[in-house]
Chain A
Amino acid sequence: MSEEKLSTTDTEQDVPVEQHNSTQHYEVMMELGDCLTSVGKYDEAQRHYEKSASLSPDAAGPYVGLGVVALQKNKLEDADIAFRVACRLDPKCARAYAGLAMISQQQAHYSQAFKMYLKCLELESDNLTALLGLFQTSCQMGSFEKIIHYLLVYLGMHPGDTSVMFALAALYMKDGRVAESREILHNILALEPGHKDATNLLEEVERGIVRRKQAEVCGK
């Protein structure tokens, strides 16, 4: 999601020692928080994010971490506050908008979720969480206008991502663009011959094409 920072080369050259130590401490706390979140130790992770926030009060990262922890604990109000603080500290924090979108989605506020996922993708066009969230929200709202564009942008950067390719194929099919859907499904199966969902959807697409041709013949 976000650009990972590395202090080794940057900090040694120009930054005073005290500031370097503080930056190192902040980065270690953040990394610990992220690792502990990954292994499901949310209380410990929260403590490390809080420590990170005290070390770098203007950084958005710790609040994103706290938001993620709160979201995992299903404390939506706390998560909402944390992500909003992150947005205020860094209005370009894509992960914070993704977090706000996830909260709205969980609360079935699909329109708001859609807006927040879009905002996230505007800031970080290859954010997979936002992309798949946008896809789910689009399905929940029955509106697919904008999502195709973002899926294409993402695939331009990650051409072999079959999960996103499949989402795009499904959307093309819903939009009546069966030839494009079929082409993508063939591409998925070339990459992953055992992709069952793609096989099933391709069958459906092929049946649709046959039905359409039959209807055209009957019409003539």
Chain B
Amino acid sequence: MPAEIPFQFDSLLTEARTEEKAGNWRQAAEIYEHMGERYQNQLWMKLQAAGALFKAGDFGRSAELASWINQRRPTVDTLLLEARLKRRQKDFKSALALLKGAEDILAGNVSSDIKMSTIVNKYCKSV
């Protein structure tokens, strides 16, 4: 029933955070991904899942999710996360472009609505 949905969502969110607190990052990520698919709040849930997967050491999937978010609505957290993953792969040029994008958001020069391609195009030339 539709009225139950908020409670189901809250219950799952609590479950995911409990898993995180217990250090079960992979399980937490699975719950977040499931919530994203089921409750249509993919940006938030994918961000949570990407963070949990990073801590679980699943850098490949974490990078996929961070990149997915940054293509749509980059935030400082997701840009920082993707930059860390790029640095881990020794792709310093992309990491620096992402970090400059994060720096601009923090400085208020760029709205987080701007697409990632704009940020990367803007900075790749200067790196």
Contacts and interface: CB of A to CB of B under 8 A. Distances in A.
B67 interface: no
B72 to A, nearest CB: 16
Contacts of A8: 47-48, 50-51, 77-78, 81
Interface string B77-91: 110110110010010
A4 B48 CA distance: 16
Interface residues of B, number: 26
B2 to A, nearest CB: 27
B92 interface: yes
B96 interface: yes
A217 interface: no
Interface string B50-82: 111011000000000000000000001110110
Contacts of B102: 24, 28
A186 to B, nearest CB: 30
B51 to A, nearest CB: 4
A86 B87 CA distance: 24
Contacts of B110: none
Interface residues on A, range: 20 to 34
A78 interface: no
Contact of A4 (B76, B84, B106): B84
Given A21-B106, A34-B87, A38-B92, A27 B80 contact: yes
Contacts of B99: 28, 31-32, 35
Contact of B95 (A21, A29, A35): A35
B112 to A, nearest CB: 12
B15 interface: no
Interface string A31-43: 1101110110000
A31 B80 contact: yes
A212 to B, nearest CB: 46
A25 interface: yes
Contacts of A13: 17
A31 B76 contact: no
Q: Lowest 10 A-B CB distances belong to which pairs?
A: A8-B51, A9-B51, A8-B77, A24-B76, A28-B102, A32-B99, A39-B92, A35-B95, A35-B96, A6-B51
Interface of B: 17, 20, 47-48, 50-52, 54-55, 76-78, 80-81, 83-84, 87, 90, 92, 95-96, 99-100, 102-103, 106
Given A7-B77, A8-B48, 13 more contacts: A6-B81, A6-B84, A9-B48, A9-B51, A9-B55, A13-B17, A24-B76, A27-B80, A31-B99, A32-B99, A32-B100, A34-B87, A35-B83
